[in-house]
Amino acid sequence: MANRFSLLPVRNRTVSVCCSGLLVWFVALFCENIRADETATTPKDATGESLEHAAAPALELFLTEYCLDCHSEDAPEADLDLSLLPDHSLESHDEIWERVLGELMSRRMPPPDAYRPSEQDYQKASNRLVQALAAVAAKHPKPGRTDTFRRLNRFEYQNAIRDLLALDVDAEAMLPADESSHGFDNVTVADLPPTLVSRYINAARTISRLAIAQPSDQLEGHTYRMPADVTQEQHVVGLPPGTRGGMLIHHTFPRSGVYEVQVHLARDRNEHVEGLNGKYQMEFLLDRDRVADFELVPPKAKSRYFFDDSRLKARIDVTAGPHDFGVTFVKNKSSLIETKRQPLNVHFNSHRHPRQTPAVFQVSITGPYVDADTSAATQTAPDTPSRRRVFTCYPSTSAQNESCAEQILSRLARLAYRRAVDHTDIAPLMEFYRDGEAAGGFEAGIERALASLLVSPRFLFRIERDPEGLDAGEVYPISDIELASRLSFFLWSSLPDDELLTVVEQGKLRDPEILRQQMLRMLSDRRAEALVTNFANQWLHLRNLESKTPDARLYPDFDDNLRQAMRRETELLFQSVVDEDRSVLDLLRADYTYLNERLAKHYGIPHVYGSRFRRVNLSSDDHRGGLLRHGSILTVTSYATRTSPVIRGNWVLENLLATPTPPPPPNVPSLEEEVIGADLPIRQRLAKHRSNAACASCHVIIDPIGFSLENYDAVGRWRDTEFGVPVDAEGALPSGDSFHGVTGLEAAVLQRPELFATAMTEKLITYALGRGVTTSDGPAIREIVRRAGQDQYRFSALIWEIINSPAFQMRTFR
């Protein structure tokens, strides 16, 4: 041992001597915590050697050589003092050791410029600590605690209405946005402020009217507005071939009748109709059938201001229920066939890109209007998906009203409340029914009772109650009903369906085989798309694309069409991993992607035409593939005027490597473009920023990762030079391992796939449980990743291990 230490720097030798007593104590403590009961089989490591004997020499040497020099009583760097553990319980200091383990597994410590262990020593020390913490967790599980009351967030509310009533509503228009915490908006949803109560009441009234679709003389109006930066030169998905531009609206018409549709065209800042330089044909389409058409002719006056688009309106007969309504233009015959490959043609409402053809600005739908000789009372009941879902029975005589209403409300309440219901649940709803029935008949009664159900706390809140007779800190399994609710809101962001509730009522959900069957069934259901539109969009920050507007002077070709195409590419890649049950590592190593013509032109990939997305196999020369090459990720991690290695590097650390960086210290100076030089490559601009000691400690970890992505500009286009200078894409991981470019970064991440799987698992658990991950979740997460790794990290394997974990199925009593 002395000879070994003689090779170390002087200060390490000093610490090794001074702390030898501490090391003996620590090794004894470590072995004491992993020692099994005398009657049990002693756990063994990969070589079959007893852990209690194998751990001591390896950890004694490791801690002496690499840890205590900086993390002892004399020099507690990063506020981590390993010499001040007050007692002999590893469990009482699990937060410290989880922190130590995180640094070892990411290879961040010791720092790259310090004396560092070999990869084999890293693995040995990490494995010993993993096994010790796992042994403690097995004896004393800490599944954490979710809030007792958790309100449905806006996305969950919208999905719940869809699945309960077969009704698509716009929850964004009805309810305020939910605040995000730990990266997701289903975490801070424990309260119901008074201002939100009124919004829920109004939403319930609107939804119940739409679901029942009762005849009424009341007019309702909705206006749909096109984003200003949408280019309307090409075909819109969902509209017929041979058309270009316009808008496709999925609208639920509340009742059958005559509706008036009014269209206004886009105008420039001088109020001139844009692009009206010849004759154009506009069409109104209802479920792809033409119901009205107009000829747009420029006025004889020189100014296009005199064009009157108030005449672009029509009244159409529509049956109640959901319909696709389209407003579009017939494509000019000369542009139906492209005889020569045309350059990118971006035109939207901007002085830099004036429109060359007319474009839709907004569409208003008002109604229903009834004929003069037709009263609301004599209109026949429509046949809509929502009415079929609600009226599972219908009374033929008034004597049957009460029993039929109770049958309808019992079925709806069971689904809405996510459990079996009894008389105490139905009685209040029946009171509302009777009030409504007395005022307007059977359907009016159902409508009023439905509105009451939709504002019930049993519907709006997910409630997990503590059993009686437990002591503080005691761990218990949640009920089968609560498990079913966790499962459905995890995979569907919505209510448990009838089949899942039936399994609960039969007492079979705890059977691992049946639980797994339900999970696979739910993953194959279309409702599992919520994992893409809700989980992946938040995890990967795709929602931030909506607020991203790159500088139009530097990136004049960026429009909303490109923004939405970028987002769709990433969604489809994630969806392919889910649908095909591929390894989650394919999110990084995919040699294919999904493109339409707009995105393919942006990437410079030929032979992709039309608005339809399709899977495209790639070559290395395309510089596309996994997430790190997606325009969506590269754009949301950039500024409006330039790339940001800091944002990109931090995004990779937090979302792909489970290694979040600490928040910046106060009073950190910003990167002053004018002072440093806006015409210099970003690496040189950031060099001065890193010279500040307060900044360097974080930037030395973050920046090298971001630099490796510098071949992509602020809107995700590939480039080899910046300001005439070849791009320097040399990068490094926190471990100090260096690489070049995005290919090197991908290879470095995939070299240790458990880090990416851990990062994704942490995000999935946060999303599934609606709470942040804590250090006590560490053993469970590592076990989930280990088991999923035995199945090549397939998506279903990762989901199953999460669902089957104590964190998902248990709860701690407070």
- Rounded to 5°, the CA angle 99-100-103 comes to 90
Other C-beta atoms closer than 10 Å to the C-beta of 785 total: 23
Q: Is the pLDDT of residue 675 over 60?
A: no
- Mean per-residue pLDDT of the chain: 85
Q: Please tell me the predicted confidence (pLDDT) of residue 308.
A: 86
Q: Please tell me the predicted confidence (pLDDT) of residue 693.
A: 61
Q: Please tell me the predicted confidence (pLDDT) of residue 215.
A: 76
pLDDT average, residue stretch 226-234: 92
Q: Please tell me the predicted confidence (pLDDT) of residue 694.
A: 60
Between 89 and 260, whose confidence is greater?
260
In contact, 288 and 364? CB cutoff 8 Å: no
Identify the band that residue 129 occupies on the pLDDT scale cut at 50, 70 and 90. Answer: confident
Q: Is the pLDDT of residue 508 over 70?
A: yes
Q: Please tell me the predicted confidence (pLDDT) of residue 134.
A: 85
Which tens digits make up the pLDDT trace of 43-89?
A: 444 333 333 334 445 555 666 677 766 766 666 666 666 655 433 45
Percentage of the chain beyond pLDDT 90 is 64
Q: Is the pLDDT of residue 789 over 70?
A: yes
In contact, 296 and 279? CB cutoff 8 Å: yes
Say if residue 477 is preceded by a cis peptide, omega within 30 of 0: no
In contact, 650 and 661? CB cutoff 8 Å: yes
Q: Is the pLDDT of residue 752 over 50?
A: yes
Percentage of the chain beyond pLDDT 70 is 81
Phi then psi for residue 163, to 5 deg, are: -80, -25
pLDDT average, residue stretch 485-494: 98
Between 645 and 660, whose confidence is greater?
645
Between 172 and 271, whose confidence is greater?
172
pLDDT average, residue stretch 609-630: 96
Q: What is the pTM of this model?
A: 0.87
In contact, 110 and 116? CB cutoff 8 Å: yes
Cα(543)–Cα(372) distance, integer angstroms: 48
Q: Please tell me the predicted confidence (pLDDT) of residue 131.
A: 83
Q: Please tell me the predicted confidence (pLDDT) of residue 53.
A: 39
CA 420, 526, 563, 707 dihedral sign is: positive
- Residue-range domain boundaries for the chain: 2-139, 220-378, 528-636
Lowest mean pLDDT among 549-553, 576-580, 786-790: 549-553
Burial (0-12, 13-18, 19+ Cβ within 10 Å), 216: middle
Q: Is the pLDDT of residue 672 over 60?
A: no
Between 256 and 429, whose confidence is greater?
429
Q: Please tell me the predicted confidence (pLDDT) of residue 99.
A: 80
Q: Is the pLDDT of residue 419 over 50?
A: yes
DSSP assignment string, 419-469: S---HHHHHHHHHHHHHHHHHH-HHHHHHHHHHHHHT-HHHHEEE-PPPTT
- What fold, for 220-378? Jelly Rolls (2.60.120)
Q: Is the pLDDT of residue 386 over 70?
A: yes
Residue 358: both structure tokens together:
């007319």
Q: Is the pLDDT of residue 92 over 70?
A: no
Q: Please tell me the predicted confidence (pLDDT) of residue 695.
A: 67
Lowest mean pLDDT among 110-119, 255-264, 383-392: 110-119
Which tens digits make up the pLDDT trace of 659-670?
A: 877 766 666 655
Which tens digits make up the pLDDT trace of 685-718?
A: 666 656 666 666 677 889 999 999 999 999 999 9
Distances from the Cα of 519 to the Cα of 525, 605, 679, 808, angstroms: 10, 38, 54, 13
Q: Please tell me the predicted confidence (pLDDT) of residue 249.
A: 97
Q: Please tell me the predicted confidence (pLDDT) of residue 218.
A: 81
DSSP assignment string, 533-579: IIIIHHHTTGGGGGG----TTT-TT--HHHHHHHHHHHHHHHHHHHH
Cα(35)–Cα(246) distance, integer angstroms: 71
In contact, 391 and 408? CB cutoff 8 Å: yes
Which tens digits make up the pLDDT trace of 2-20?
A: 333 333 333 343 333 333 3
Location of structure tokens 């064009």:
307
User: Which residues pair with residue 149 across a beta bridge?
Assistant: 463
Q: Is the pLDDT of residue 444 over 90?
A: yes
User: Which residues pair with residue 184 across a beta bridge?
Assistant: 181
Q: Please tell me the predicted confidence (pLDDT) of residue 91.
A: 67
Q: Is the pLDDT of residue 677 over 60?
A: no
DSSP assignment string, 274-287: TT-SS-EEEEEEET
Q: Please tell me the predicted confidence (pLDDT) of residue 698.
A: 75
Burial (0-12, 13-18, 19+ Cβ within 10 Å), 697: middle
Which tens digits make up the pLDDT trace of 156-209?
A: 999 999 999 999 999 999 999 999 999 999 998 888 888 899 999 999 999 999
Q: Please tell me the predicted confidence (pLDDT) of residue 437.
A: 96
Cα(716)–Cα(722) distance, integer angstroms: 14
Cα(250)–Cα(211) distance, integer angstroms: 16
Q: Is the pLDDT of residue 237 over 60?
A: yes
